[in-house]
Amino acid sequence: MPPPLALYIHVPYCVHKCPYCDFHSTVQQTVPEVAYIAAVKRELLFWRQRLKDDKRHLHSIFFGGGTPSLLKGESVGQLLKQITTLWQLSPQCEVTLESNPESCSPAKIAQWLNHGVNRLSLGIQAFNQERLTYLERPHSLEDARKAIQNSRRGGFTNINLDLIFATPSQTINGWMEELDEAMDWQPEHLSCYSLSIEKNTPFAKLYKQGKIQLLDEDRELEFFTSTEKSLAAGGWQGYEISNFAQPGRSCQHNLNYWQSGDYIGVGPSAHGRLTKIDNNSNIKILRTINRTSDYIESQREDGSCLLNEHLCTSQESGIDCLLMGLRLTDGMNRESYKKLRGYDLVAQQPEKIAELQKSGLLKVSRKKIAITKKGKLLTDSIIEKLID
Ligand code: SF4
């Protein structure tokens, strides 16, 4: 049985490029909306034709970016109409749209809901005007508050707030105040990421010049544990390193990534993952990646925008499964790994696993392998250790 199938649509436009961000987007005050929507529709058709024998219903849809909320409400409606014409949606299909506060008007909120968006992810990033300015966010604190209020009043019952912490000179007390405000808004989900320096961004340049000092590891750990503690006390469960949800409100789309599910990636720079099972029940994973630039101009006649397709080796698929699964609090499913690699990780690496268990960094059950609370901040090095 192949895993669930999800759909990701990348909307590559922003009104301003935030200096820490390495997601693909171009700064455009006027989005070439008609041409972009037509191109996405063609690409959706391409994927449906290519997967014509695939009977799976869509388990989740995610409009990510860039800034999907720059699109007009009816454009999102057109895309969802095309999607539902081509695919059946599972009854609980989660449809998320990422939105920036400054482009989240009550009229758009009403349209998104009308057209079938049922989860809104708001890029708030900070509840402090100074930090918003430092991050060069295109919205003010007031915009952020208004956007949350309007989304709730407008009828969204599943809201995520994205936040960034551990920015230079931020204090724990200041962050706790911001987190308190986030919780006061009672969102169903909170994504809290520490500031990281991504290659080829303006922040990376400043960092290299010594003009940005990141918090040291101990300090970051303090931020991290305070965040977890505070959110747990408020009823938000940490189900992934940076993601917290009220019971039953985990993001289904992202869970599908972390649980090695399948997804179609549409739009510039979008990635995809598709499971192929042959007649002998052998599993292979196909990775797809779209072109980053000239999405509209370079689209092929059949609607494809593929830059590359790669049939993963069993080792590559196993690494992906580890990288994704061990981010989850519940851990990686041992059976999923076994299906990809042909053997159980615990049986294959008993000494390494025992050592990590002894150090209190890893816990192993019959079905799962999970990183402990103590091991969380060492996730990358633990995964590296387990890669064979
Ligand atoms: S608005 Fe979002 S996607 Fe656009 S540059 Fe800023 S962080 Fe990146």
Q: Residue 250 pLDDT more than 80?
A: yes
Residue 57 CB neighbours (<10 A): 12
3-class secondary structure, 217: helix
Q: Which long-range contacts (CB under 8 A, 24 or more apart) does 121-124 make?
A: 121/96, 121/97, 121/159, 121/160, 121/162, 121/189, 121/191, 122/147, 122/148, 122/151, 122/159, 122/160, 122/161, 122/162, 123/67, 123/98, 123/99, 123/162, 124/148, 124/161, 124/162, 124/163, 124/182
220 alpha carbon to ligand 1 midpoint, in Å? 23
The single residue listed with the structure tokens 């019952």 is: 157
Q: Indicate which residue's Cα is closest to atom 3 of ligand 1.
A: 66
Q: Is 246 helix (H, G, I), strand (E, B) or coil?
A: coil
As a whole number, mean pLDDT of residues 139-159 equals 98
Ligand 1 pocket residues where CB is under 6 Å:
14, 17-18, 21, 23, 25, 65-67, 100, 123
- In CATH, what number does 5-255 get? 3.20.20.70
11, 14, 27, 135, best to mutate for ligand 1 pocket (most atoms within 8 Å of CB)? 14
Residue 59's identity, in one-letter code, is H
* Mean pLDDT of the chain, nearest integer: 95
388 has pLDDT over 80 = no
pLDDT tens string 287-314? 999 999 889 998 999 999 999 999 999 9
- Tens of pLDDT, residue by residue over 62-94, are 999 999 999 999 999 999 999 999 999 999 999
pLDDT of residue 207: 96
Span from the CA of 27 to the centroid of ligand 1 (angstroms): 10
What pLDDT, on a 0 to 100 scale, did the predictor assign at position 282?
A: 86
Which residue's CA is the nearest one to ligand 1's atom 8?
21
* 12 alpha carbon – ligand 1 mean position (Å): 9
At 347, list the tokens.
């049986």
Residue of higher predicted confidence among 256 and 376: 256
The residue behind tokens 């400054």 is 102
**Residue 19: pLDDT band by 50, 70, 90 thresholds?**
very high
User: What residue ranges do the domains of the chain occupy?
Assistant: 5-255, 332-388
Whether pTM exceeds 0.85: yes
When mean pLDDT is compared across 146-155, 239-248, 372-381, the lowest value belongs to: 372-381
| pLDDT at residue 2 in the model | 87
